[in-house]
Structure 1
Amino acid sequence: MKDFDLLIDIDELFKNLKNPNFRIIDTRFLLSDTTLGYKQYQLNHLPKAVYAHLDNDLSSNVTSKTGRHPLPKINALIDRIEGWGISNDSQVIIYDQSNGSIASRLWWMFRWLGHNKVAILNGGFNKWIENEHNVTNEKISVRKGVFRYTKNNLSVLKTKDIEKNLISESFVLFDARDNDRFLGINEPIDDKAGHIPSSVNLPFNKFLNKDGTWKSIKEIRKIWDNLDISNNTYGVMCGSGVTACHLIVSALIADIPEPRLYVGSWSKWIVDPRHPIEKIT
């Protein structure tokens, strides 16, 4: 059976709905209403799908020293994964409302745990409905999985790495937030506006079509080709380490070296008042 490790289209998932090895996770979430995603899930969701909450399942507790979505402890995350009925041989499919902005975070986290049989539903819930496939409000009951963490070669950027890079400029740091937030014109979420000096704005939705699906491989490669990553050393960030994962998906679609994720991102950077900030004046 073919493994899916980046994207899966609607028709391909539909063909595999009865495949006992497929596990589906709904990650719909809205920052401005953190209860909405689960309410939507209860109303209707894809067959076989369980629900994962960005704040409660895909992040650990926020403190005065963390960003808004710090990574959970590995053991706690494994407990969640097993509770979703997932084992090491499972093919995991993740979806959100449409554009993959939340699904990409969990996709990256599975790979962080060494599990590469994980893919994002291209176009998400909206595309599934558009194709007139069935949804359900059935409460899903699954048998607990057996999942073992395996060492991977994914590396993350820590705040100290970003601090050192301000001097060394040894890698390019791409920021996935929209241009207004990057420039500091508008900041609806975090306490401070602006961006990390020398970082480059690359909004994640630049890689998307209007319907929330990823652009063609050719189009995605063209975007990356116009950016300065000639030394193949680069990192990605966003507001809290979520939509930055979307840039990682787009990089792998383009078949270029994988960037490192600054998990804390902007919300972690601004915790320390000594950190420099740039914004439009």
Structure 2
Amino acid sequence: MEATVSKRWLLARLYEPEQTIVDCRFTLGKPQAGKESFEQEHIPGAVYLDLELDLSAPVSEHGGRHPLPDPQLLAARLAKLGIGNTTRVVAYDDESGMNAARLWWLLRYLGHEQVFILEGGFSAWKAERFPVTDHQPIRIPSSFEPNVQSQMVVGVDEVRQVSVNTVEALSEARDSASTAPYDLPVLIDSRARERYLGLEETLDKKAGHIPGAVNYFWKETQNEDGSLKSAEELQEHFAQLDKDAEIIVYCGSGVTACPNVLALEKAGYKNVRLYAGSWSDWISYEGNPIATGDEK
């Protein structure tokens, strides 16, 4: 089954006991807005998880604006909400799926595969006149034992080495008028093109991108209604990437990279990893170089 589900799919299974629906709405710069919206109305049976309080660790010197949460703490939080190792989880938000994709990625990182994202999010659900409520049912705690998939995440040291190797390979290819080798890991920057190019930066202290990275804006993997494009469309979108290459995806803080991870996997890429700290972590190290403009 695909990682996304339709509104009608969820409607038909809305009250199944082995399922937990998770509201992940969150607005950057307005940390209370998501929770307040949830308390006003949400999909029946849904529980709420906060991007910064639940799905991230506290910010420190390094690790980015949304550091990965401690696996044991996250597992305990999930268990308290009634999410166990066999619970089917359906996540939604109202931010084009980026926060729901963060939960999707985190659950898989904890070894939990039964997690899906609702296409279109809450506004699309409500537009269909499907049921909403302000009622918050009592949750019966469950048991969640994390089985951390450490191979899914990449740290700054590995990214630094990949960046150096890529820049050297591109330089050698230019000097010899040949193409760069395809056996190198690929760094993907998921942010909007203006931020990748270094033309603007509204969230982080420095503008630009990790040297050697190529730009694939995460929203370009979606249709106008917020649903994920088909596998064939995504294969065309990522056509310049070698299917056998190792791919490392990052964004500003490790959140909007997750929809790109999802899209790459749907397109058939098997070796996709997340640089969780992303750009905000990269620039927290004074010695890390910064590139602007296009990678040639």
TM-score > 0.5 by shorter chain: yes
Structure 1 residue 89, shift from structure 2 partner: 1.3
Local SS of the residue matching 1:102: helix
- 1:210 counterpart = 2:250: no
Q: Which moved more, 1:44-53 or 1:164-173?
A: 164-173
Structure 1 residue 228, shift from structure 2 partner: 2.4
**Conserved in 1, the CA contact under 8 Å of 2:198 and 2:209?**
yes
What is the TM-score with the length of structure 2 in the denominator?
A: 0.90
Distance of aligned partners of 1:162 and 1:84 in 2 relative to their CA distance in 1, 3 Å threshold: same
> What corresponds to 2:290 in structure 1?
277
Q: Which moved more, 1:214-223 or 1:22-31?
A: 214-223
Local SS of the residue matching 1:127: helix
> What corresponds to 1:245 in structure 2?
258
Aligned residues, how many?
Answer: 277
Structure 1 residue 139, shift from structure 2 partner: 2.0
> What corresponds to 1:7 in structure 2?
4
Local SS of the residue matching 1:75: helix
**Conserved in 2, the CA contact under 8 Å of 1:68 and 1:240?**
yes
- 1:58 counterpart = 2:55: yes
Taking the TM superposition and a 5 Å limit, the aligned residue runs for 1:92-171 are 92-152=89-149, 154-169=151-166, 170-171=184-185
**Conserved in 2, the CA contact under 8 Å of 1:5 and 1:117?**
no
Distance of aligned partners of 1:130 and 1:184 in 2 relative to their CA distance in 1, 3 Å threshold: same
Gaps of 5+ in 2: 167-183
Q: Which runs of 4+ in 1 moved over 6 A?
A: none
Counterpart residue type for residue 272 of structure 1: Y
Structure 1 residue 238, shift from structure 2 partner: 0.1
- 1:193 counterpart = 2:207: yes
**Conserved in 1, the CA contact under 8 Å of 2:186 and 2:245?**
no
- The two structures, once aligned, show a CA RMSD in angstroms of 1.5
Q: Which moved more, 1:200-209 or 1:163-172?
A: 163-172
- Give CA deviations for 1:238-279 in whole Å, capped at 9, x if unaligned: 000011111111012222214110001000000011110012
> What corresponds to 2:235 in structure 1?
221
> What corresponds to 2:26 in structure 1?
29
**Conserved in 2, the CA contact under 8 Å of 1:98 and 1:211?**
no
**Distance of 1:162 and 1:61 partners within structure 2:** 22
Distance of aligned partners of 1:168 and 1:279 in 2 relative to their CA distance in 1, 3 Å threshold: closer
Distance of aligned partners of 1:18 and 1:231 in 2 relative to their CA distance in 1, 3 Å threshold: closer
What is the TM-score with the length of structure 1 in the denominator?
A: 0.95
Gaps of 5+ in 1: none
